[in-house]
Amino acid sequence: MSVSLERGIQTLKEHIDAPVASFFTTCVHCGMCADACLFYTETKDPKYTPIYKLKPLRRLWHQEYTFWGKLAAKLGFSKPLTAEELKEWEPLVYDSCTMCGRCSMTCPVGNDIVYMIRKMREGMVAAGFAPEGLKSATERAITIGSPMGVKFPALKNQIKHVEADIGLKIPVDVRGAEYMALLSSMEIMNFPEYIGAIAKIFDQADIRWTLASDAFEATNSGIQIGSSDLAAELVERVVAAAERLKVNYVISPECGHAYTALRWEGPNLIGRPYPFKVIHILELLDQLRSQDKLPVTGKIKERLTFHDPCQIVRRGGVIEEPRRLLEMVAEDFAEMEDHGIMNWCCGGGGGVSTNERAATLKLTAFNRKRHQLEALGVNTLVTVCANCRITLEEGLEFNNMDVAVLGLAETLAEHLAEQSPAPTTTQTH
């Protein structure tokens, strides 16, 4: 069957579960979610009120699953959903929502609004109303293996450079390793220093790890576009590789949605438990820190701050780890006004950065971060998500702001105290 309004409605009906029904029932129309959303605060346009972005879903729920709604629909008092309506809502559901989840935190009756946006997107995909950028990225992820079209030879090439750079071998397809590391294609193409950083840290801490040639990509475009079917397929690839290499842990990289996809949605998507554990790179680094396996030397003198990636901090619960790690290498660490679980999104999450149509809106939304940075007056910003990083860099450049953006893992690697050279360290080329 091809994409159609009927299929979209069918999919939405399938995804209206008990939580969705209770959320719509208990919504008190207070509008507090508006002030939690950076797309509203930076534009003051009421259409960006988070709960309003769900209006079609709400109508469908009312018509299909409530007594009065059914009656009204039967008597012709409420019109059925139309394709035009879904098309009209497409920019609201995709362009103006990074699925950062800040609205869910402020809802006074505890409604998880972002949970419903995720479900709304399921129906939008099935009805054929997803942004072009996200559609093509997802296609590439499924057919090529990476949303940016990165194939293993490209990674192999980067590995070669990294190995030459740090003088360590990057293990690939090592069976029986303890950890399997994943990367985001953003890291492979734009921030390959991440690979070198974890290699150096792991070498020093004696961690047996590997990359998988057939599943190195952690990004899950299926989650961003909102299709469980496609997301499950991408998760399956990682699970298959981890099973093949018999690893005990899979490391989620410095990427937000990768963590959500793998750690929280993954087992539900594929319908079975993992035979391994998913750990975020920050959790692992913090473990090493607590075991004194992460010796660092020297501190950054400059005042710096930390940008919390929504999916890792607010939605992921990795809150104190980056702060403990940062304290090791920062002399003057200052927090932004809203930080931790109430942080403000960079503006590019949830597929927004992949969606060219949303480029202008994304830069408008960035003003929130700009004000935060200006209020603090810092010139260095550390973060732990490659997508946040690219979005922040774009925003800073657009606003001519002189702020350097650093990844936490590589910052730690730079300050790694050199121990006596390990005997296993050999040049391979």
Partner 1 sequence: MTKAKTLIEHLEQQGISRRGFLKFCALTTSMMALPPSMAPGVARALETARRPSLIWLSFQECTGCTESLTRSHSPTLENIIFNYLSLDYHHTLQAASGEAAEQARETAMKENHGQYLVAVDGSIPVKDGGVYSTIAGISNLEMLQQTVEGAAAVVAIGTCAAFGGLPRAHPNPTGAVPVQELVRDKPVVNVSGCPPIPVVISGVLAHYLTFGRIPDLDDYGRPLSFFGTSIHDRCYRRPYYNKGLFAETFDDEGARKGWCLYKLGCKGPTTYNACATVKWNQGTSFPIQAGHGCFGCSEPDFWDAGGFYQPLSAGIGSVGGVAAVAVAAGAGAGIAAGLAQQSQRKHAQLQHEKVTVADLKESES
Lay out the site mask for partner 1 across 181-220 (x = CB under 8 A, - = otherwise): ----------------------------------------
Greatest alpha-carbon span in the chain: 81
Amino acid at 144: I
The reply on whether position 128 binds partner 1 by CB under 8 A is yes
The reply on whether position 65 binds partner 1 by CB under 8 A is yes
The reply on whether position 269 binds partner 1 by CB under 8 A is no
Judged by CB under 8 A, the residue of 47, 64, 85, 248 near partner 1 is 64
Question: From the CB of residue 83, how many other CB atoms can be counted at a distance below 10 Å?
Answer: 15
In the bound complex, what is the minimum distance in angstroms from residue 132's beta carbon to partner 1?
Answer: 6
Distance from C-alpha of 235 to C-alpha of 298, rounded to nearest angstrom: 39
Q: Hey, what are 422's tokens?
A: 């390990």
Closer by beta carbon to partner 1, 93 or else 378: 93
Judged by CB under 8 A, the residue of 14, 178, 335, 356 near partner 1 is 14
Judged by CB under 8 A, the residue of 34, 114, 117, 130 near partner 1 is 130
Binding part of the chain for partner 1, among 135-143, 164-172, 250-258, 294-302 by CB under 8 A, reads 135-143
Judged by CB under 8 A, the residue of 7, 237, 293, 299 near partner 1 is 7
Residue numbers 337-376 binding partner 1 by CB under 8 A? none
Closer by beta carbon to partner 1, 67 or else 426: 67
Judged by CB under 8 A, the residue of 103, 126, 159, 330 near partner 1 is 126
Closer by beta carbon to partner 1, 135 or else 169: 135
How many residues make contact with partner 1 (CB under 8 A)?
Answer: 30
Judged by CB under 8 A, the residue of 55, 87, 135, 293 near partner 1 is 135
Amino acid at 33: C
In the bound complex, what is the minimum distance in angstroms from residue 252's beta carbon to partner 1?
Answer: 24
3-state secondary structure the chain: CCCCHHHHHHHHHHHCCHHHHHHHHHCCCCCCCHHHCHHHHCCCCHHHCHHHHHHHHHHHHHHHHCHHHHHHHHCCCCCCCCHHHHHHHHHHHHHCCCCCCHHHHHCCCCCCHHHHHHHHHHHHHHHCCCCHHHHHHHHHHHHCCCCCCCCHHHHHHHHHHHHHHHCCCCCECCCCCCEEECECHHHHHCCCHHHHHHHHHHHHHCCCEEECCCCCECCCHHHHHCCHHHHHHHHHHHHHHHHHHCCCEEEECCCHHHHHHHHHHHHHHHCCCCCCEEEEHHHHHHHHHHCCCCCECCCEEEEEEEECCCCCCCCCCCCHHHHHHHHHHEEEECCCCCCHHHCCCCCCCCCHHHCHHHHHHHHHHCHHHHHHHHHHCCCEEEECCHHHHHHHHHHHHHCCCCCEEEEHHHHHHHCECCCCCCCCCCCCC
Judged by CB under 8 A, the residue of 165, 229, 327, 332 near partner 1 is 229
Lay out the site mask for partner 1 across 373-402 (x = CB under 8 A, - = otherwise): ------------------------------
Binding part of the chain for partner 1, among 8-16, 181-189, 249-257, 381-389 by CB under 8 A, reads 8-16
Judged by CB under 8 A, the residue of 59, 82, 102, 125 near partner 1 is 125
- Classify each residue of 384-420 as buried b or exposed e, where b means 16 or more C-beta atoms within 10 Å of its C-beta: bbbbbbbbbbbbbeeeeeebebbbbbbbbbebbeeee
The reply on whether position 132 binds partner 1 by CB under 8 A is yes
Closer by beta carbon to partner 1, 11 or else 372: 11
The reply on whether position 244 binds partner 1 by CB under 8 A is no
In DSSP terms, 248 is beta-bridged to none
In the bound complex, what is the minimum distance in angstroms from residue 123's beta carbon to partner 1?
Answer: 11
The reply on whether position 271 binds partner 1 by CB under 8 A is no
Closer by beta carbon to partner 1, 309 or else 351: 351
Closer by beta carbon to partner 1, 126 or else 346: 126
Closer by beta carbon to partner 1, 222 or else 316: 222
Footprint on this chain of partner 1 (rule: CB under 8 A):
1-3, 7, 10-11, 13-14, 16-17, 21, 64-65, 67, 125-126, 128-130, 132, 135-136, 138-139, 142-143, 225, 227, 229-230
